[in-house]
Structures are given as structure tokens and as C-alpha cells.
Amino acid sequence: MVVGDFATEVDVLVVGGGPGGYVAAIRAAQLGKKVTLVDKAELGGVCLNRGCIPSKALIHAADEVNKMKNASHMGIEVDGVKLDFPKTIQWKDQVVKKLTGGVGQLLKGNKVEVVQGEVYFSGENTVKVATEDNSTTYQFEHCILATGSRPTQIPSLPFDGEKIISSTEALNLQAVPEKLIVVGGGYIGLELGTAYAKLGAEVTILEGTDSLLPGTDPGMVRMVKRNLKKLGVDVVTNAMVQGADTSGNGVTVTAEVKGEEKTFSADKVLVSVGRTPNTDELGLEHAGIELDGRFVPTDKQMRTKNERIFAIGDIAGQPMLAHKASYEGKVAAEAIAGEPSEVDYRAMPYVIFSDPELAYTGLTEQEAKEQGYDVSVSRFSFAANGRALSLDAADGYFQVVADKETKQIIGAQIVGPEASSLISEVVLAIEMGANAEDIALTIHAHPSLPETFMEAAEGIVGNAIHMVNK
């Protein structure tokens, strides 16, 4: 508390309690620092409360419904699958509550002071924290900014929280809409659109570019598009939204599609066109921090222009990923403690919980060639993997990209079951400098999905057993 003109002094002030902020706070405390974490909302940030975790819970529930509806070919006949959607949302909320409660306990166990309030910089090493009761000045030796991001709003479709919604509202609906329009074919819109299609909604995705998941390998996207078609999802590309009419019972969206004006009607419109960094309304200019667009420029230790202040996660630039934020939080905390930590994004995993799942890391074949590599590429199909077949999930492949001469693994792309889990072995391989022979000589359990990595690696070496060598 402020006593007269005196400020509360802390070693490290962390602004934001999401996957970047709370991890940074705990790591700084482990390194002997006196840490205060300030967040204006719930611990866990968007990821735990309104993003990664609740969306994956909803996606899992949708997958379970879809499996039951489509299990007759395995001899499983389900007579009338009934969905109690409010109960599904209640279960999703319980998952979130367990995790956010756990974060609170971890912070407490590491003696991190947690303050609920809003931060505004008043100087190069001071902030004012406004709580419900008062305003307190803090003076810090170092500060870690981890304020995250929010759904981007477009002028032609302003959020109203009822008919035109963001991902936040989409995760808290109390009924599955009969018709849902998703504006934006990126990973968030695709994941939630697919989930609601499996739950029974008639879904239309409007994407402004010429393909879903812009920037993702087209070969991977093709398999996703094929399954969307099976689900009855209508994908409209090159669709530039002009506006919406919400005057009736539902909402009608007008879009220009390849030069022609078209209208699309639904009960709800989910706008998912990206996320905006929360760098405004912080008074960063008073701390001597200049923005690059909406992002905070940093060095390899996540240090900003003001050497006392570090920035991590979504506000520090693309990609906006929770695991990137956590990783950067640890680097920043260790740099503050004087350790020689710095970021290395060479093996950053990217995961999309589509159907089938997509995951990739390192370089694609094209990127490797552009960087001067003479590449060797090996692809193993899940259709030849016993575990995938027994899971009734044989769509997709595991592709490995390696340097032709050294056989060192430099990238991988996975489309198929549990791609989100399988990618971790590749990340470890790249991080440790493993080559394809290292993976091929590693005994993998049978039958298991990770065998596909071993088989693809054997293809690089030239001694594949369960596929014909090139």
C-alpha cells in the first residue's frame, strides 16, 4: 500500500496472469525474486478461461457426439443421441475451474503476490494499479508485460454479444444454433465451426482469401476441407463481408464473393478474423516504450527498449500461441535473474484442432529449399498404421523433412489422429539435433501412433519396411 508518497517496491512486477504471465511470475519467484502479479480479470488469462482449454473441451464433446452418430460401420448402433448442451457447457466450465484454481495455488505456493486490478504506467519503473478499493503505486526493478490479446473486431460486423459474437460468446452459448456463420477461416473459426457442425448446426464459413487456414501447407488443408464437406459445412472463399442486418429474428450477412454480392442468413455470426494485442490503455509511452504497429519490439531475451521492462506472449509478436508465451515468460524471468537465456523458435510447434488434427514444426519442404537446403522428404500414411486403423482414424500422414546429406531432421507436418501430441517428439528431435537414423533406431511401441514418425524417418534413411522406399 502507498504510505504518503512512498510506493510499494517489488523486484518483478508481472502484468497479466495468462499462460505467459503466471509462468513468468512463478519462474522469477523460483529464482529468488519478490514478485507481484497484477491481472484485471481471472488467473489463467484468455487461454484457460476463454480460449485454448474451453474450446478443446467443446471440441472433444462434439467429437464424442459425432462418433456416436457415425459408428454403425463398427457394429455400434445408437438410437437417438441426445445432447443436453447446457450440461455440456457446465462440464466445460468445470474443466476451466479446476485449471484456474490450480494456477492460483501454484502462485500462492511460490509466494507470488496476486493483485486484481488495472495497470497504468506512470514512469520508467513505476505503475499505478487501480483496484476496486483504491489506487496503489508500485515501483519495480523489472517488469514483465504479458497482457495478451482480444478478438479483433471489424467495422462492418461490430460485436453485439447476441447475434454477432466473438469466440468468447461462442464458448458460452446455451443452445446449439440451427444456423451458424463463421467469418474467418483461420484456426479459431475453423475449430469452433467444425465443433458446432458436429453438434448439429448448419455451418457456413466465409473466408476472405482463396483458401482456409491461410499460410498453412495446402496439402494439409485439403484433408480438412474433405472432412468439412462430409460434415455438410459450406466453405465460401474470396468472400469479403460488407455488413450485417440484425433487425429480424436472426442475422443476414452480405458479402462480395468473386465480384458478386451474396447474402447468407443464420441465427448467430461468429467473427473470427484474428486477435488484437492488448497494448493500448497501458500508458506504455510513459515507460519509454514505442510500438511496432500494435506489438512491443523485444530482443532475444524479451527485453524492450526500456531495459527494465520485458514483453512476452501475444503482445511481443506472432505467432500468438499460449506455449510461446509460457516459453518466453521463462526466458524473461531467467534473463532478469542474470541467466544467459534467450529465445530460439527453430522448433516452435503449431497445432490446429481441426478434423483431422494438423500439427507442424520447423521447415516445410518449400521453406527448406528457399533456405538453401538440398532436402529429402518422406511421408508415411496413417492408413498403414495399425493403431490408427484400430482407432477408426486412418486419414492423413506423417511427413518428415530432412537435410539430404546429413539426414538431420529440419521439419515435419502431421495430418491425422493425435497430431497435437505427436508433434512433440519432432520438436524434441529438432531441438536435440537428431537425424533420421536416430529416430529410425529408436524402438517405438507397437501398435502406436508414434510409429508413423519412425516409419517416415526410415524412409529418409532408405530402409522403410512398411512402405516402398523411393
In sequence order, what DSSP letters do the residues of 327-380 get, joined into one string?
Answer: HHHHHHHHHHTT-------TT--EEE--SS-EEEEE--HHHHHHTT--EEEEEE
Where do the domains of the chain lie? 8-151+276-336, 164-273, 350-461
3-state SS assignment for residue 151: strand
Out of 60, 142, 444, 446, the active site residue is 446
What residues form the annotated binding site for FAD? 56, 147-149, 314, 320-323
Distance CA 354, CA 380 (A): 20
CATH tag for 350-461 (out of 3.90.230.10, 3.40.50.300, 3.40.50.720, 3.30.390.30): 3.30.390.30
On whether the CB atoms of residues 418 and 351 are closer than 8 A, the answer is no
**Each residue's pLDDT tens digit, 260-270:** 999 999 999 99
User: Above 70 in pLDDT, residue 1?
Assistant: no
Tell me the residue ranges of DSSP E strands in 366-465: 375-381, 397-403, 409-415
CATH of domain 164-273: 3.50.50.60
Q: How confident is the model at residue 309 (pLDDT cuts 50, 70, 90)?
A: very high
What residues form the annotated binding site for NAD(+)? 184-191, 207, 274
On whether the CB atoms of residues 252 and 245 are closer than 8 A, the answer is yes
Distance CA 454, CA 470 (A): 16
* Cell of residue 283, nine digits: 500508458
Catalytic residue check, 446: yes
Identify the CA nearest to 401 among candidates 391, 393, 411, 392: 411
What residues form the annotated binding site? 56, 147-149, 184-191, 207, 274, 314, 320-323
Question: Are 8-151+276-336 and 164-273 the same fold in CATH?
Answer: yes
CATH of domain 8-151+276-336: 3.50.50.60
**Each residue's pLDDT tens digit, 14-52:** 999 999 999 999 999 999 999 999 999 889 999 999 899
Q: For 313, phi and psi rounded to 5 degrees?
A: 75, -150
User: Above 90 in pLDDT, residue 216?
Assistant: yes
* Cell of residue 419, nine digits: 497430431
Q: How confident is the model at residue 64 (pLDDT cuts 50, 70, 90)?
A: very high
**Each residue's pLDDT tens digit, 128-161:** 999 988 899 999 999 999 999 999 999 999 999 9
Q: How confident is the model at residue 59 (pLDDT cuts 50, 70, 90)?
A: very high
Distance CA 173, CA 199 (A): 12
**Distance set, CA 402 to CA 141, 411, 433, 453 (Å):** 45, 7, 11, 13
On whether the CB atoms of residues 269 and 179 are closer than 8 A, the answer is no
Q: Cα-Cα-Cα-Cα dihedral of 342, 347, 348, 351, to 10°?
A: -160
pLDDT value at residue 5: 54
pLDDT value at residue 7: 87
